A and B are shown apart, each in its own frame.
Chain A
Amino acid sequence: MGISEFFQHLMNGLTLGGIYALIALGYTMVYGILKFINFAHGDILMVGAYIGLFVFDGLRGDAPLGTWTFVSFFIAMLVSMVSCGLLGMAIERIAYKPLRKATRLAPLLSAIGVSFILSNSAAWVFGTQSRKLNYPFDNTPISFGGVVITPHQILILVVSVIMMVTLKLFVDRTRMGKAMRATSLDQDTAMLMGINVNKVISMTFAIGSALAAVGGILIALDYKVYPTMGTMTGLKAFVAAVVGGIGNISGAMFGGILLGLLETFGVAVFGIPTGLKDTIAFGVLILILLIKPEGLFGKVEKEKV
Chain B
Amino acid sequence: MILLETEALTRAYGGVVAVSKVDFQVEAGLITGLIGPNGAGKTTLFNNMTGLDVPSSGKVFFNNKDITGFPAHKICRMGIARTFQNIRLFKELSVVENVMIGRHFKTGKDATHGRFLNALKSYVYLKQEEQEIYEAADNWLDFFDMSQFKNELAKNLPYGRQRELEIARALATDPKLLFLDEPAAGMNPQETDHLMATIRKIRDLGITVVLIEHDMKLVMNICDTITVLNYGMKLAQGTPREIKHNPSVIEAYLGKEEE
Contact = CB atoms under 8 A, between A and B. Distances in A.
A305 B53 CA distance: 10
Nearest to B84: A305
Interface residues of A, number: 1
A305 B46 CA distance: 10
Interface string B70-93: 000000000000001100000000
A107 to B, nearest CB: 18
A305 B47 CA distance: 8
Interface string B216-229: 00000000000000
Interface in A238-265: none
Interface of A is mostly: loop
Contacts of B84: 305
A124 B53 CA distance: 53
Interface in A246-305: 305
B173 interface: no
Contacts of B85: 305
Contacts of B235: none
A145 B43 CA distance: 65
Interface string B82-106: 0011000000000000000000000
A277 to B, nearest CB: 39
A79 B53 CA distance: 52
Contacts of B47: 305
A305 B82 CA distance: 12
Contacts of A305: 43, 47, 52-53, 84-85
Interface in B17-59: 43, 47, 52-53
A305 B18 CA distance: 14
Interface string B155-189: 00000000000000000000000000000000000
Interface of A: 305
Interface of B: 43, 47, 52-53, 84-85
6 contacts: A305-B43, A305-B47, A305-B52, A305-B53, A305-B84, A305-B85
What 3 pairs across the A-B complex have the smallest Cβ distances? A305-B52, A305-B47, A305-B84
